[in-house]
Structure 1
Amino acid sequence: MNILKALEYAKKELLHSKFDSNIRVGLEAELLLSFVLDSTREWLHAWSDREIKKNEFDKFMECVYRRTQGEPIEYIIQKVSFCSESFYVDKRVLIPRPETEILVQKAQALIEAEEIFEVGEIGVGSGIISIMLGLLCPKISIIATDISPLAIEVAQINLNAFATSSNRLKERITLMHTDLFEGVKSLPKLLISNPPYIAKNYLLSENVLYEPHTALFGGKNGDEVLQAIIEFGGQKGIKFLACEIGYDQKECMETYLLDQGYQGVFYKDLSGFYRGFIAYLQ
């Protein structure tokens, strides 16, 4: 079987997935086969008449089957695009969402405007926020924490991949396994986080449930981790906070920020929902 026929076969299989109605059959078939053949989608089109070996086809069909069962494609191909860069991901970490790119943009603008040099991140996950900020803001140093040692492992993989002698990311980004910011002696001027903010009993789609629950659920009401971050910032006198929030959490976060001495400026995502805030300690 050649590449063209294999792709057509895979499209038919993906089309009948019972678990994920959002599968883009043509694109995802190409992404899966590109992963198996360690190639690009452009290469597949250029060499569409190339015969596929049996072991390659078997691996391709295994990937297609996993996708039809609802497993996110990012976990299958172990790659996600974020801020025009490609990052490694697997089941140990949350899959980065496009909305979080706005958080990075807002934080970058704040860092440049306020001349911030020390940044902390709570819930580093795959490392995408700290690494992108490290690349965009070459003068900052970052301490990034996570309660999951497995997440720290993935963040280290991405840090190793992006670090060079010129950007000095390994020297400027420190990864720590800890809850919130416990045990961190040096406090940052800016604390950033995309924490778990989904309520415990909120019903999620099957494919989302493949992701680590500790990175999804923020307690009974969903805002407990956010409240803990804000309270920590207020108690320690951290001047700036930058956090992503759930679409329905603006009012409660606004109140809690004021209670802790912060003035919050909230921003919306591309769908028009409130998705995060930048907070200034008064």
Structure 2
Amino acid sequence: MAAPETVALLLALAREQLQHSSPTAALDARILLAHVLGKPESFLYTWPEHEPTEAQARQFHEWLERRCAGTPVAYLTGRQGFYGHEFLVSPDTLIPRPDTELLVEAALSLLPEQEPIRVADLGTGTGAVAISLALARPQWAVLALDFSMAALDVAERNVQRLGATNVQLRQSHWYRDLPGQYHALVSNPPYIEEGDVHLQQGDVRFEPRSALTAGPDGLDDIRALASGAPEHLLPQGWLLLEHGHDQGAAVRAILQQNGFHAVATRQDLGGRDRVTLGCWGGRQHAQ
């Protein structure tokens, strides 16, 4: 007679199966099983002898197979944490990553907290950046744009779930349908080189390619954002761009070539260049 499939047994099985395909096997196992059970991860430690239902065990085994094949955990659960909030995700959107939280922190640090600030998030995807800014600063007006209607549908659901009433959504390819002028433009655009070998590795294999790559050097969209920004920035407004860890110098040069002042690059928690910003029409100093 087979041993009952308890929480402890399922976790051990998952760790063994995932150890060769995921660098975070134990974490993946906990997230997937907790989600299947509809419980917090602490439940797994408290009740290791708990026996999931047959349907729950079947779902867990199915997800385990898909994770072993490379499917990102966030696409399996449909959830991803970002800046203290839980966001819905889908294969139509990039998975929000901790490094991108620096984009939110930089914008919050540069702009006055109590003033009625206008911000536009270009290429919003799940809406993670726009919604995080809006929830941190309820008095701000945040416009989130994306060319993909499928991505905007996910962003709309996140707006509703998280109660970000000061976020509006609009379909636009970068600045094409962006109205008015703003105190800040923020973006996590595609910045990977076409043909980069990393596109065939890890979670990015499953993410939308159009949200990842931008020309031979990965900077095509950043050039477009930098050149188009002045028309949509108020005097002394800021442009903030996420980019690859080895692109800081190139992005600073692009912003300077387009007339930005106070150009600076901020590093992520790993000490790598991650966000470059510049001020338009006024010689401020980045804080």
Out of 258, 261, 278, which is 1:260 matched to?
A: 258
Distance across 2 between alignment mates of 1:242 and 1:269 = 14
TM-score scaled by structure 1?
Answer: 0.91
Q: CA deviation at 1:191?
A: 0.6
| From 9, 12, 24, the counterpart of 1:8 | 12
TM-score of the aligned structures, taking structure 2 as reference length: 0.90
1:182 aligns with 2:186: no
Please show how residues 83-94 of structure 1 align to structure 2 within 5 Å.
83-94=83-94
User: Which residue does 2:159 correspond to in 1?
Assistant: 159
**Are 1:197 and 2:191 an aligned pair?**
yes
Asked whether the 8 Å contact 1:197–1:223 carries over to 2, the reply is yes
How much does 1:146 deviate? 0.5
Distance 1:95 1:183 in 2: 25
Instruction: State the match for 1:279 in structure 2.
Output: 278
Q: Which amino acid aligns with 1:3?
A: V
Residue 243 of structure 1, aligned match among 241, 245, 258:
241
Identity %: 29
Instruction: Determine the structure 2 residue equivalent to 1:219.
Output: 215
Displacement of 1:236: 4.0
1:225 is matched by which residue type in structure 2? D
1:166 is matched with which residue?
none
1:226-237 equivalent positions in 2, closer than 5 A: 226-237=222-233
- Displacement of 1:194 after TM fit? 0.7
Over the aligned positions, Cα root-mean-square deviation in angstroms equals 1.7
Native 8 Å contact 1:116 1:189 kept in 2: no
Amino acid at match of 1:266: T
Is 1:210 aligned to 2:206, yes or no?
Answer: yes
Q: Please show how residues 24-173 of structure 1 align to structure 2 within 5 Å.
A: 24-112=24-112, 115=115, 117-163=117-163, 169-170=164-165, 172-173=166-167
**Are the equivalent residues in 1 in contact too, given 2:181–2:231 (CA < 8 A)?**
no
Q: Distance in 1 between matches of 2:91 and 2:208?
A: 7
Post-superposition shift, 1:252? 2.1
Q: Which runs of 5+ in 2 are unaligned?
A: 282-287
Distance in 2, Cα, partners of 1:35 & 1:94: 20
Separation of aligned partners in 1, 2:230 and 2:180: 16
More divergent stretch after superposition (57-66 vs 263-272)? 263-272
Instruction: For residue 53 of structure 1, report the CA deviation from its aligned partner.
Output: 2.1
Q: Tell me the alpha carbon deviations over residues 15-49 of structure 1, each in whole angstroms, 9 at most, x when there is no partner.
A: 243xx3x1x22222121111111111111222222
Q: Which moved more, 1:60-69 or 1:41-50?
A: 41-50
With 107-116 and 121-130 compared, the bigger mean Cα shift is at 107-116
